A = this chain, B = another copy of it.
Amino acid sequence: MSEQGPEPGPELEIVHLLRKVTVEFGLRQAEFAALHHMHSTDVRALICLLDAGRAGTDATAGWLGAQLGLNSAGTTAVIDRLERLGHLTRTRDPRDRRRVLLAVDERAVELGWAFFGPLIENIVAVLRDFDEQETAAVRRFLLAAHRAVTAIP
């Protein structure tokens, strides 16, 4: 296997490390899904909805489908599954009665925290030991990584 691309230096090692983290995180997500009789897509949907709540966006079915990259049929299926499990409530938007507003059930949020909370706490704990400059470096790196990975060339 001849090494392609840039020479393997300390920078590349960090990129590989970042990739490993993303891979493992995906696996934990899949475990959480299986544990609660869901699929990865369902978990991703819940995360999107929680983000929307945090950002004050109102989450409609169509919006969710766009976030997940699903078409309308697939989106309906995801919502059906989550509703059947009681993790979600459909409400018709009274202002525009075509739209369906989605609300995550409180219990689903608790399930998420029970699973991911300790994991997040671990990372947060590490960060608390970082001084100002180190935290800044991490933030700068992640912002750059996000920009690099979001760029549409």
**What are the residues of chain B within 8 A of A141 when measuring CB–CB?**
126-127, 130, 134, 138
State whether the Cβ of A21 lies closer than 8 Å to any Cβ in chain B: yes
CA distance A110 to B3 in the complex (A): 11
Interface of A is mostly: helix
Task: Establish whether residues A139 and B26, one from each chain, have CB atoms under 8 Å apart when the complex forms.
Answer: no
Whether the Cβ atoms of B133 and A17 lie closer than 8 Å is no
Q: How many copies does the complex hold?
A: 2
- In angstroms, Cα B15 to Cα A47, docked, is 14
Mark out the residues of chain A between 95 and 153 whose CB falls within 8 Å of any chain B CB in the assembled complex. Answer: 104, 109-110, 113, 117-124, 126-128, 130, 133-135, 137-151, 153
**Nearest B residue to A120 by beta-carbon distance?**
B15
Checking B12, B124, B127 against A120 with a beta-carbon cut-off of 8 angstroms, the contacting residue is: B12
The answer to the question of A85 belonging to the interface, with a C-beta cut-off of 8 Å to chain B, is no
- Among B11, B27, B149, the residue within 8 A (CB) of A21 is B149
* Pairs A–B under 8 Å by Cβ, sample size 8: A10-B135, A11-B124, A11-B135, A24-B146, A28-B149, A122-B148, A130-B141, A137-B137
